[in-house]
Amino acid sequence: MEQEFVLPIKKRYRSQNNESPIEVPDILPNAIFDYTSYPKMLLNPHGVFEEIRVLGAGSYGLVILIRVKSNNKLYALKLINVMDWRSRNTLETFKTEVEILISISIYPDCDPNIVCYYESFQLYYKPKFAAAATSYYAIVMEYVEGITLDDYIKTHTMTKEIAGKILLWLTSVIASLHAKDIVHRDIKPLNIMILPDDTLKLIDFGLGCLINGPFEDYCRRIVGTPHFVAPETAENHLFLLDLEYWKKNDVFSAGVTLYQVVEGINVHPYNIASGFRLNPELRLMTWSDNCYNSIVYEMLIPNPFDRPDAADVNEKFQKQCILPMLNE
Ligand SMILES: Nc1ncnc2c1ncn2[C@@H]1O[C@H](COP(=O)(O)OP(=O)(O)O)[C@@H](O)[C@H]1O
Ligand SMILES: [Mg+2]
């Protein structure tokens, strides 16, 4: 018999920035978590949803596909183990992800390019796929029925059209986040989903940051995935204390991602072992005559002060690469 709890007081999620509670749809009736009055949690998970399968696991989260019994719909449930060895950071990671998603893509105002948020809470739970019950922070998200860009690159032959579409999409999503003073800080193929109709969605805002937002200390930590962070991040430059500069880090990570879209996920444009120096042996060999290459190389400029921002890259790609093709 699983151990179950019932929420004593039903409470809506309340954003730290808002006086009035945000109305969210009642997906999991007993599972509303107000993190501003942490710790508060508890629900009856086994009665409310059924687990279908594991969708993925990253550095922080286990993501499972669930079917909510009351409406028979599918959702993705991201579970972050409260007792993780990095538990000093897990609550902040969770809060950050929730706060960012609420500000950009919350049901019913879902952004088509960003995974949609439903609600969040804390629960004591034993997933089918875990050895024991434990306490988790949980986020209910839209189930993105696709594969990661990482899997796509491994299993598909890339065409210039698809690569160009990914470049255009990625730089445009990043530009729109940056315009809202949000940085993602973990742009990579594993955090991008590609759907069967070739549309794309950005996921995983766990390392993200709202510039001028509520979690300044968290934002000032150096975070990212080693193979994707910009040289200034790897070298922990002091100017990153001005959070604006993290925007340039996203552009660089997108550059590495777009490089791998063409060259494969195991190739890096830089020789990381020798301190992030451009590896002169490595070029975008496959499409050496392509406009895509020159744009990606600009995104990979080591000096952040010379590196363009996402909106400029997007505009340049449209003007220099797409327009001439249309006029041919
Ligand atoms: N909403 C979703 N729908 C489908 N699969 C998802 C969803 N969110 C995450 N995943 C899968 O789970 C993996 C880990 O999720 P992610 O949010 O990136 O966690 P982490 O912060 O641990 O990296 C992703 O790479 C992806 O394969
Ligand atoms: Mg991830």
168 alpha carbon, distance to own chain's centre: 18
Contact 100, 16 (CB under 8 A): no
For residues 37 and 17, what is the distance between their CA atoms, to the nearest angstrom?
14
Hey, which of 54, 59, 63 would you mutate to test ligand 1's pocket, going by the most ligand atoms within 8 Å of its Cβ?
Answer: 63
For residues 290 and 62, what is the distance between their CA atoms, to the nearest angstrom?
39
User: Which DSSP letter does residue 27 get?
Assistant: S
pLDDT over 90 for what percent of the chain?
A: 42
For residues 209 and 246, what is the distance between their CA atoms, to the nearest angstrom?
9
Q: How many CB atoms lie within 10 A of CB 160?
A: 15
Q: Is 202 helix (H, G, I), strand (E, B) or coil?
A: strand
Residues 49-60: tens digit of each pLDDT: 889 999 998 777
| pLDDT bucket at 9, cuts 50 / 70 / 90 | very low
Determine the residue type at 150: D
Ligand 1 atom at minimal distance to the Cα of residue 150: 25
Residue 105: CB partners within 8 Å, gap ≥ 6? Answer: 111, 114, 115, 116, 117
Q: Is 127 helix (H, G, I), strand (E, B) or coil?
A: coil
The DSSP code sequence of 185-228 is S--SGGGEEE-TTS-EEE---TT-EETTSS-HHHHTS--S-TTT
Ligand 1 atom at minimal distance to the Cα of residue 204: 17
Q: What does the pLDDT read at residue 96? A: 86
Of the candidates 147, 125, 121, the residue with the CA atom closest to the CA atom of residue 134: 125
Q: What does the pLDDT read at residue 131? A: 79
Ligand 1: residues whose CB is within 6 Å? 55-61, 63, 76, 78, 115, 141-144, 148, 190-191, 203-204, 206
Ligand 1 atom at minimal distance to the Cα of residue 141: 1
Contact 291, 320 (CB under 8 A): yes
Residues 160-219: tens digit of each pLDDT: 889 999 999 999 999 999 999 999 999 999 999 999 999 999 999 999 999 988 778 888
Q: What domains are defined for the chain?
A: 9-142 (3.30.200.20), 147-326 (1.10.510.10)
Quote the ligand 1 centre to 321 CA distance (angstroms): 32
Burial degree of 118 (CB within 10 A; 0-12, 13-18, 19+): buried
Higher pLDDT, 19 or 295: 295
For residues 43 and 45, what is the distance between their CA atoms, to the nearest angstrom?
6
Q: Ligand 1, atom 16: nearest CA belongs to which residue? A: 204
Strands 61-68 and 277-278, sheet pairing: unpaired
For residues 173 and 166, what is the distance between their CA atoms, to the nearest angstrom?
10
Q: How many CB atoms lie within 10 A of CB 180?
A: 11
Beta bridge partners of 138: 79, 121
Hey, which of 27, 52, 55 would you mutate to test ligand 1's pocket, going by the most ligand atoms within 8 Å of its Cβ?
Answer: 55
pLDDT over 70 for what percent of the chain?
A: 78
Ligand 1 atom at minimal distance to the Cα of residue 93: 21
Inter-helix orientation angle 160-179/291-299, to 10°: 30
Q: Which ligand is nearest to the CA of 187?
A: 2
The residue assigned the tokens 């993602």 is 184
Q: What does the pLDDT read at residue 237? A: 86
| pLDDT bucket at 8, cuts 50 / 70 / 90 | very low
Classify the C-alpha dihedral 103-109-111-114 as positive or negative: positive
Ligand 1 atom at minimal distance to the Cα of residue 58: 22
Residue 50: CB partners within 8 Å, gap ≥ 6? Answer: 66, 67, 69
Q: State if pTM tops 0.75.
A: yes
| pLDDT bucket at 21, cuts 50 / 70 / 90 | very low
For residues 116 and 107, what is the distance between their CA atoms, to the nearest angstrom?
6
Inter-helix orientation angle 160-179/246-263, to 10°: 170
Contact 262, 286 (CB under 8 A): yes
- Count the residues in the chain: 328
Quote the ligand 2 centre to 61 CA distance (angstroms): 8
Peptide bond into 108 cis (omega under 30): yes
Q: What does the pLDDT read at residue 148? A: 97
